[in-house]
Amino acid sequence: MSFKPLEIVGRKLLPIVQGGMGVGISAHRLAGAVAHENAVGTIASIDLRHHHPDLLEQTHKCRDGALIDRVNLTALDREIKSAREASQGKGLIAVNVMKAVRDYANLVRQACESGADAIVMGAGLPIDLPDLTANFPKVGLIPILSDSRGVGIVLKKWLRKGRKPDAIVIEHPAHAGGHLGASTVEGLRDERFEFDRVLGEVQELYKELELGQDAPPLIVAGGIDSHEKVRHWLTNGASAVQLGTAFAVTLEGDAHPEFKRTLMEATPESMVEFTSVAGLPARAVATPWLTNYLRREADLQSKAKADPRRCTQRMDCLTQCGLRDGLGKIGQFCIDLKLAAAVRGETDKGLFFRGGGRLPFGQSMRSVSELIDYLMTGRMPMLAAEPSGAHALT
């Protein structure tokens, strides 16, 4: 069965989007490989210096947040240009920027200046994204939202600015990994997030706003882990699907092999939902570090106090941080340190975000091209045969 292409920024693409995963899980190797298959590859913009030894050396034991920010802009520029080269002009290179990070405006501008095809923004309502990209009208703008109310707020405000989203990602908090679009852990499974409901309500909103054929395509994200689910949603209101974890564990994924192993060996029982330092619910693997942290969380929260010196990196990276700002009801750890440890594969120190679904190839590490072929056609590669370039966990 063939599917309609995803048409954005003047291109016809496979209706497959690779989600942005930071710190450093989706950098130029993964995004470039996905784009090379004529799909949407996404670079996560946060703290990309960890892929560049010279930039890490410049910021070793650094307590100058401004220098770290500048170095990360250099890293983002390098990653976009490398992804573009790897894609050989195919597909689309997007950059994911979290609204919740303090330096988001500079990251957006750098991504545009470095040649990104699109900016994807979540972790907060991206109301000002059209303003930040006003000098780059050809760059696609793609907000990440979880319910029709959020879509309505962003869409109406953007339309008053004379800008329409080029696409909208609808992310289901009950299934996605990382930071999630609900206000509390208890609210992750609220029925207002169900894809059927959101797709229907957004289509009604499009009619109300008389968008007609110009309505932004809708991309569903979270829990899409099989060809059958791809087929279901592409024939029931979605224009594309987005996956994160399945791409993170491919051969081209930018993370350490131990990171991939940890995600592939995770079971539903080893997943944990908790409130992160930014105040958002999150989903991750119950690694030794996370298990130990959650045992101590109540005690750490009771001792929370506003003190910038508690910020171990002095990065002031988030607009709101439980550790730095003394917010006792949310996380009490440095998220940048924990995500950086994860990209290095350090299970005893790292925070390993993961979606809640199964992996299409189980504990076999396959290529981006094989994953996309399976999602589009349902053809399962011969896992036992281990074709050239494939690896199984041992």
pLDDT averaged over every residue in the chain? 91
Q: Which of 20, 375, 349 is nearest to 177 (CA)?
A: 20
pTM: 0.93
Whole-number pLDDT of residue 341:
92
pLDDT, position 310? 67
- Determine how β-strand 364-365 pairs with β-strand 240-243: unpaired
Query: In the predicted model, what is the mean pLDDT of residues 303-313?
Result: 74
Return the residue matching tokens 């340190």: 337
Superfamily of domain 6-256+363-377: Aldolase class I (3.20.20.70)
Helix or strand or coil: residue 158? helix
Q: Model confidence at 387, in pLDDT bands (50, 70, 90)?
A: very low
Check whether 386 has a pLDDT greater than 60. Answer: no
By CB neighbour count within 10 A (0-12 exposed, 13-18 middle, 19+ buried), where does 88 fall? exposed
Q: How far apart are CA 264 and CA 347, in angstroms?
A: 13
First to last CA, the chain: 35
E strand or H helix at 72? helix 65-87
Is 28 a residue whose pLDDT tops 50? yes
pLDDT at 348 over 90: yes
Cβ(96)–Cβ(22) below 8 Å: yes
Check pLDDT > 50 for residue 92: yes
What is the residue extent of each domain of the chain?
6-256+363-377, 263-343
With a cut of 50, say whether residue 385 has pLDDT above it.
no
- At position 146, the amino acid (one-letter code) is S
Q: For residues 229-250, b (16+ Cβ closer than 10 Å) or e, as one string?
A: bbbebbeebbbbbbbbbbbbbb
d(CA 5, CA 246): 21
pLDDT at position 67: 85
So what's the pLDDT on residue 331? 87
pLDDT of 205 higher than 90: yes
Q: Does residue 319 contact residue 101 with C-beta atoms inside 8 Å?
A: yes
Using one digit for the tens of pLDDT, what is the confidence trace for 98-107?
988 888 999 9
Strand 364-365 relative to strand 218-221, pairing: unpaired
Q: Which residues contact 27 (CB under 8 A, 6 or more apart)?
A: 43, 44, 48, 51, 79, 83, 254
> HSE on the CB side for 2, CA within 13 Å?
3
C-alpha 185/C-alpha 368 separation (Å) is: 32
The answer, yes or no, to whether residue 373 has pLDDT greater than 60, is yes
The residue-averaged pLDDT of 138-161 equals 96
pLDDT in tens, 323-341: 888 889 988 988 888 998 9
Mean pLDDT to the nearest integer, 134-139: 96
Q: What is the dihedral of CA 294, 299, 301, 305, to 10 degrees?
A: -140
CB 29 within 8 A of CB 86: yes
Q: Using CA atoms, how far apart are residues 237 and 11, in angstroms rounded to an integer?
A: 20
pLDDT value, residue 269: 81
Across the range 343-371, mean pLDDT stands at 94
Residue 3 φ/ψ, nearest 5 degrees: -115, 155
Confidence band of 44 (pLDDT split at 50, 70, 90): very high
Q: In the block, which residue shows the tokens 């990653």? A: 79
Residue 65: pLDDT above 80? no
In the prediction, which pLDDT does 287 show? 93
Residue 69's pLDDT is what? 85
Compute the average pLDDT of residues 59-84.
88
pLDDT (tens digit per residue) in 231-269: 999 999 999 999 999 999 999 999 999 999 999 999 878
Q: What is the pLDDT of residue 124?
A: 85
Q: What is the pLDDT of residues 360-369, one digit of tens each?
A: 999 999 999 9
pLDDT at 257: 95
- Amino acid 388: pLDDT: 45
Alpha-carbon distance of 171 to 146, in angstroms, equals 5
pLDDT at position 394? 36
Hey, what amino acid is at 351?
L
Rounded CA-CA distance 357/228 in Å is 14
Give the helix, strand, coil percentages of the chain, each rounded to 5: 40, 15, 45
Percentage of residues in the chain having pLDDT higher than 70: 94
Q: Please give the residue that has the higher pLDDT: either 244 or 280.
A: 244
Query: Quick one: average pLDDT of 271-286?
Result: 91
Tokens matching residue 123: 């972790």
Q: Cβ-count burial of 187 within 10 angstroms (0-12 exposed, 13-18 middle, 19+ buried)? A: middle
